[in-house]
Amino acid sequence: MNRLVSLLLLVPILWGSYAEYLSVERKFKLIESERLRRGTRVTLTKGELNAYAQQEIAENFPSGIRAPRLELGNGGAVGSALIDLGKIRRAQGKPPGWLMSKILDGERPVEVTAHIRSGGGRATVDVQSVKISGMVIEGRVLEFLIDNYLLPNYPEAKVGRPFELKHGIDRLDIKPAAVDVVIR
């Protein structure tokens, strides 16, 4: 009986998250249609972005990442999740060697803080810090890890270098409650 009551109490939370996911999907399709007028703002709420992240993580990383969370700030964001890097590497068909498995295996809280600059149809994501199990990585050590681990393993990652915003997007205005996508 207690499980049934617990499940019934979760239904509004789960439905709210699913409704936010459907809402953000609809907004993404509207932006991708490239039919919006110049100056149009499409607002993506923090709840919608979190619902999207949870769905995308569940579909693309069925094991290795859970409990993703996004916090927005003025011009930046903090993304966090519980991550098992060893599981992710194995799922990608790239199992770590014995020594690396000792370092990568096991679920750990990971938090990434980034500043996002955008305008004129381009954006740059600058990672300011990464926190793994409470240990903060920043500065030259973070640059070394990005250059020698992240980019070689994920060459499509656009970290620290400008990239084009597609679908006629001019800029992203990031505020604590939402991201406004502004069409050029």
Q: Beta-strand (E) ranges in 74-168?
A: 76-83, 108-119, 122-132, 135-138, 163-164
* Residues of the chain where predicted confidence (pLDDT) is lower than 70: 1-16
pLDDT for the residue numbered 177: 98
- Tens digits of residue pLDDT in 30-48: 999 999 999 999 999 999 9
Look up tokens 């919608």; give the residue. 48
- The pLDDT of residue 16 is 65
Residue ranges with strand state E in the chain: 41-45, 65-73, 76-83, 108-119, 122-132, 135-138, 163-164, 169-174, 178-183
To which residue do tokens 């607002």 refer? 43
In the prediction, which pLDDT does 3 show? 53
Distance CA 97, CA 79 (A): 28
Which pLDDT score is estimated for 62?
81
User: How deeply is 32 buried, as exposed, middle or buried, from its count of CB atoms within 10 A (0-12, 13-18, 19+)?
Assistant: exposed
Q: What is the pLDDT of residue 103?
A: 87
Specify whether the CB–CB gap between 116 and 172 falls below 8 A: yes
How many CB atoms within 10 Å of residue 128? 13
Distance CA 59, CA 15 (A): 18
Q: Measured between alpha carbons, how far apart are the two ends of the chain, in Å?
A: 55
User: What was the pLDDT predicted at 144?
Assistant: 97
Which residue's entry shows tokens 């750990």?
108
Q: Which amino acid is at 40?
A: T
